[in-house]
Structure 1
Amino acid sequence: MFLAILASNIRLVSHWSESRGVYDDICYLRQAHLFQRFGWHGLDTSLAHETDGYLAGKLRSIDFPNWNEPTRAPCHTEIADGSKWVMTPPPGTGFVLALFPEGFQVIPLYALANVMIGGFALYGLWRAREAGSLTLAALFGALSITFMINPAKASYSMAPTMVVCALAGLVTARLFVDEGRRRLMMIAAVGILLGLSASFRIANVILSAGYFLFFGLSFLIWRTRETFVAGLTLGLAFLVGLLPVFAANLVNSGHPLVSAYGGQDTAAPHLDPAVLRAYLRDTQFPLMVIACAWTALLWRFANHAGVRQLTLLVGANLALNLAFFATHPVFTPYYIIPILMLSLWTLLFAAVFTRGPVQGFDRAPPGRPRPPEMLSRV
């Protein structure tokens, strides 16, 4: 079933066009063009580098009004001192697009992302050992591969974001299920992945909110060296993951902590009934209900202390992210998909890692004694 959905996705992707009329697509492709043209200097997205007519050509191909006026181009803004115009999106999506030949970038990016998500789904299915976890792995695996077309096609930034969310979910689950000497290494891996996710979409930085809340409260409650080092490791690794964003900010805005988004007018956060109604009617709402219910059920029936702690982290992260987007002034069909996929992948891997026969224990038929060596392992 997974392979059939994956094959169908790749067949659909193979017919996509890179000139579909979506304004943000032009910016991601322009960032990729800058990387291919200038290497790492492509982080500088100033319109002063627009000497080969690439942006104008892309805008003209989608019949954009004023295509020959660079300062009217979408997702470009003038920085605070007025010295140059730069792009607002972070560099990550453009970077991964730049890995493929110009003119044939979107199709291989989505094909590769689909294959990687299919791999995560198959891994979850392979690790499942009981009927319940097997069913969860099958249903969610099919759903996750399906989502790689819709809503992931809505923005090129979603393809790499979905892969990072799956990988972060896997590492997070392993972190809480297998507590051992590799704990700090896994915390660092989670921090780097969460930081890197912001290179694809700035809003992905909110994915880390629940992690920092959990590790911060853990230190405030227990006040041990272990909880302090864990929180410090997460924070430092997160900063390492954010380095591409800091570098792009420094080059384009003149300060690593000042994003090009700062030059745009944004409405103050507020609850908009129209936005809430849009979410209620969208596919994201049932997914949100599933994620919340799954978190509550796993917390209630988990037979592993680490998994109970994990559900607290997932619940906090869901609450903080949903609160952020509920007060966001704009609705899109994919805004809360990253937090939902991160949460659902985490819950799935937690379930399949902790369900099944005890390691080293083979169930003997009723009435048949177990060998001494098996009893010693138990």
Structure 2
Amino acid sequence: MKAVKLAFGLICLAIVASDIVAMSRWGEARGVYDDICYLRQAHLFQRFGIGGLDTNAVRDDDHYFEGKMKEIGFADWKDPIRWPCHNPMPSGKVVLQYPPGTGFLLALFPEGHQVAPLYIAASLILCVLALSGLVMARTLPSVISAGVLGALAVYLMINPAKASYSVPPTMALCAVAGLLTSLWLMRNKRSVLLVALIGLLLGVSVNFRLPNALLAAGYFLILGLPFLWTRSLATFVRGLAFGAGVLVGMAPTLAAQAINAGSALATTYGSADVVAPVFDLAVFGQYLRDMQFVLIVLAVGATAWLLAAGEEHARQAALLTVGNLAFNLGFFMTHPIFTHYYVVPITMLSLWTLSFARLLQPLEAREAAPVRRKSTNLGVLPR
């Protein structure tokens, strides 16, 4: 088994090394609108500090964004109303539509060398967690599953993560949140501080992509339903701690929306981006033909397996992923726009959670036959 661990460890290291070589050669002028918009947010943070939350087009008085658009041959570079990724607000401002988190992370690195370090840092975090999973694995099946997940996660940092600068930090946070979620659920005594930290991380992820707010759906279910069942103070406090963590984590986005859109609850996205859900067979078909479908199958299959074969705490982790997958897949499968990374965050959060939940099971539970030991009651989820 040590040889298998070593083999998978070397595979993960080889993939991350290959990724780093490829990422170090990436340019920052691919001609993609999203790229230069995230870089504009980063530039604002580097110029104004926390004042960079204000993305009003008039703040481009140094012509940074205009210069970026000239580089990609954008015809209407002089007209802020025509700027990509910007929308007019009722106040008359023309502002960036994206939340500020991705731009903030890019701003931590020197201008002109921002993208590659962001991707490399996220890849290294994933590699460390992948190797940690291999170290924790104590049976051959768990070594293989941990190794495959680790190699897959690192591989995805090139494709499809390259499609958007918001994906790499989301991927890294999902992996860390998956580990912490398993640590929380696999204990008999559930820590309030730990669930608050998980909420904080999921809230922070909203600062990279607004749809990341859906990543918390399953958590609210397993924290809220037991409270309705038991009405105990302990379940209420855990739910309150998680909700407070989410709120604190997404505070930068709420502040940015207050500054740019006039209200913390108002969106900076245009009407064309805020659409009603609709089931479209064409969009559904695109998911079936995409790598994301493989991730969905893996996440659903791993959830079903852990529900059937896991011990009580592990089944509770699987119940959480059931709620999370249902909400997130339901949203994106009825979203009229398809991209190659929409369901990557929820599938990877689910897989990391399930993988670490399996690894943290007592050894005898992992070796036991897949027999249900005791029915899981939602009322006993938070202990």
Q: Which TM-score applies when normalising by structure 1? A: 0.92
Counterpart of 1:202 in structure 2 is: 210
- Does residue 121 (structure 1) correspond to residue 158 (structure 2)? The answer is no
- Does residue 55 (structure 1) correspond to residue 65 (structure 2)? The answer is yes
Deviation at 1:55, TM superposition (A): 0.5
Unaligned runs of 5+ in 2: 1-10, 366-383
Contact 2:299 2:351 in 1 (8 A): yes
CA distance in 1, matches of 2:124, 2:40: 25
Q: Deviations over 1:47-70 (max 9, x none)?
A: 110101100111111122212322
CA distance in 1, matches of 2:217, 2:332: 13
- Does residue 137 (structure 1) correspond to residue 130 (structure 2)? The answer is no
What is the one-letter code of the residue matched to 2:314?
V
Deviation at 1:187, TM superposition (A): 0.5
Counterpart of 1:331 in structure 2 is: 338
Counterpart of 1:275 in structure 2 is: 283
Change beyond 3 A, Cα 1:174–1:168 = same
- Does residue 90 (structure 1) correspond to residue 137 (structure 2)? The answer is no
Counterpart of 2:47 in structure 1 is: 37
Deviation at 1:262, TM superposition (A): 5.2
Counterpart of 1:344 in structure 2 is: 351
Counterpart of 1:217 in structure 2 is: 225
Counterpart of 1:174 in structure 2 is: 183
CA distance in 2, matches of 1:26, 1:85: 16
Change beyond 3 A, Cα 1:355–1:4 = farther
Deviation at 1:80, TM superposition (A): 2.1
Contact 1:314 1:343 in 2 (8 A): yes
Counterpart of 2:118 in structure 1 is: 109
Deviates more, 1:184-193 or 1:217-226: 217-226
Deviation at 1:141, TM superposition (A): 0.6
Note the 1:363-378 alignment, pairs <5 A: none
Contact 1:128 1:355 in 2 (8 A): no
Q: Which of 282, 288, 295 is 2:303 aligned to? A: 295
SS at match of 1:261: coil
Counterpart of 1:190 in structure 2 is: 198
Contact 1:43 1:248 in 2 (8 A): yes
CA distance in 2, matches of 1:320, 1:139: 26
CA distance in 2, matches of 1:73, 1:230: 44
SS at match of 2:363: coil
Unaligned runs of 5+ in 1: 359-378
Counterpart of 1:13 in structure 2 is: 23
Contact 2:87 2:270 in 1 (8 A): no
Change beyond 3 A, Cα 1:224–1:153 = same
CA distance in 1, matches of 2:295, 2:62: 45
CA distance in 2, matches of 1:138, 1:29: 35
Q: Deviations over 1:207-260 (max 9, x none)?
A: 111111221111111221211111111111111111111110111111111121
SS at match of 1:86: strand
What is the one-letter code of the residue matched to 1:23?
Y
CA distance in 1, matches of 2:24, 2:188: 43
Counterpart of 1:370 in structure 2 is: none
Counterpart of 1:27 in structure 2 is: 37
Contact 1:276 1:326 in 2 (8 A): yes
Contact 1:133 1:355 in 2 (8 A): no
Q: Deviations over 1:106-145 (max 9, x none)?
A: 0111111111111110111111111111111111111010
Deviation at 1:2, TM superposition (A): 1.0
What is the one-letter code of the residue matched to 1:65?
A
What is the one-letter code of the residue matched to 2:290?
D
SS at match of 1:77: strand
CA distance in 2, matches of 1:113, 1:329: 29
SS at match of 2:65: helix
* Percent of residue pairs identical: 51
CA distance in 1, matches of 2:287, 2:230: 38
Q: Which runs of 4+ in 1 moved over 6 A?
A: none
CA distance in 1, matches of 2:156, 2:244: 32
CA distance in 2, matches of 1:255, 1:73: 23
Counterpart of 2:166 in structure 1 is: 157
CA distance in 1, matches of 2:223, 2:348: 21
Contact 2:178 2:353 in 1 (8 A): yes
CA distance in 2, matches of 1:354, 1:107: 37
What is the one-letter code of the residue matched to 2:250?
L
Q: Deviations over 1:274-295 (max 9, x none)?
A: 1000001000011101110110
CA distance in 2, matches of 1:110, 1:64: 27
- Does residue 317 (structure 1) correspond to residue 327 (structure 2)? The answer is no
Contact 2:206 2:250 in 1 (8 A): yes
CA distance in 2, matches of 1:37, 1:106: 18
Q: Deviations over 1:8-52 (max 9, x none)?
A: 000110111100111111110000000000000000000110101
Contact 1:288 1:340 in 2 (8 A): yes
CA distance in 2, matches of 1:283, 1:256: 36
CA distance in 1, matches of 2:153, 2:362: 21
SS at match of 1:233: helix
Counterpart of 1:46 in structure 2 is: 56
Larger radius of gyration: 1
Provide the aligned length of Structure 1 versus Structure 2.
Answer: 355
What is the one-letter code of the residue matched to 1:333?
H
Deviation at 1:337, TM superposition (A): 0.3
